[in-house]
Amino acid sequence: MKLQRLSFYLTPGMHAQSMDPTHPMFAYITHLDLFDSLDTICAKFSGFPSSDFALLPALLPALLPALTHLALFKLKSPTFAAQVLTSCQKLEVLVAMHTYDSESELDRLLSSDEARLVSMYLSDDEYHTDWLEGIRGGLDFWARADAFIAKKRCGKIKPGTTLLSQSKHHGQHFKDLFREWTIIISKPRKISYHKSMIQSVGLFPWHHHLSVTTTEPTGFILLGTLSTVGKQLADILGVPSNAVDTFCWEPGWQKIPRAETRLDPPLTLYLPRLILRTLLRMFGLAPPCSPGCIERPSEVFCSKESNLWWCISNHWPARESARMRKIGIGVGTNVNGQKMRRIGGWGGELRVWVGEVECMLQLE
């Protein structure tokens, strides 16, 4: 398994005088959190004198070729931050992480023209909670930093602003970050892809595959019967909220046809578009589908997890399944309306069906 995200202290974790930066474990790391001081990082990670900080930014692209997200604890030097971002062109986010008791140390970083620089306050307890939230698929500080940068790039956050605040001391800034976002409330596995919803909601921070019209995070989904919570969040953050049911039902409980709520274009339409988008992303001519998710040739053409392979291999089974539903095969549908019936299991269903045929003949 390739290690992609790493968070640790160098001092207690590395017993040697320095560590080998050419170790294979570093080749695939995309997200790295280091909580040591710069002199410790220089001494442990690279072996050169701790006072010579200028060498580290120049070496980072070679030491960590896949790195896109870097967080450094108590990063106080704007010059060092600029050197890192200049040397590491692939780096999408540089987070300067500080605790609340070091608020004055962050003053010089609070204004920068570099869009990729994000500053934030996070206590130890908050970081641990945030880390657990991230590994469970929730909104961790990396996702918030990505959303913050996207907002800044499109002009919805004042240029030069770097502080992303999530504490009670900076609640208004956190509220500003979510301005103009939309909350969608949906039951699990019942998300509707109604065209009007997609166009108004756009991209979700952790549901990038739903994007149709934009690459900017503009909303998030609450899965479950959470309409009350959704309205409360909408009031707190000052954003609109919508229940998916409003896109699926018309007055009088008239269900909107699936043809209107489900996007089902033919293969000849979406496959060329998918190929074009994949090639553009692979060559760096278009942004990745999700921050940090780089599409490489080996993964695009030689992996069974490739989007292209999934598209081609799943199209025909999905088409056949839809055709079977259309002609009457289904489980749990009206048996009298079925022209065909699928017999599954290990023989029990077949025996029951044969028995039903015998009973039918006896009745006749």
**pLDDT computed for residue 324 by the predictor:** 67
pLDDT by residue (tens digit) across 155-171? 877 777 777 755 444 44
**What is the C-alpha separation between 259 and 209, in angstroms, rounded?**
20
What is the C-alpha separation between 191 and 224, in angstroms, rounded? Answer: 10
User: Residue 5 pairs with which residues in a beta bridge?
Assistant: 31
Q: Is the pLDDT assigned to residue 37 strictly greater than 80?
A: no
The per-residue pLDDT for range 208-217, each reduced to its tens digit, is: 333 333 334 4
| Beta-strand relationship, 254-255 and 249-250 | antiparallel
Query: Residue 77 above 70 pLDDT?
Result: yes
Calpha distance 158→111 (Å, rounded): 10
Share of the chain above pLDDT 90, in %: 0
Q: Using 50, 70 and 90 to split pLDDT, how confident is the model at 125? A: confident
Q: What is the pLDDT of residues 260-284, one digit of tens each?
A: 666 667 788 888 888 898 888 888 8
User: What pLDDT is attached to residue 168?
Assistant: 40
Give the model's confidence band at 199: pLDDT under 50 very low, under 70 low, under 90 confident, else very high.
very low
Q: Spell out the domain ranges in the chain.
A: 1-177, 180-264, 265-325
Q: What is the pLDDT confidence band of residue 42, given thresholds at 50, 70 and 90? A: low
Out of 89-98, 183-192, 252-261, which region has the weakest mean confidence (pLDDT)? 183-192
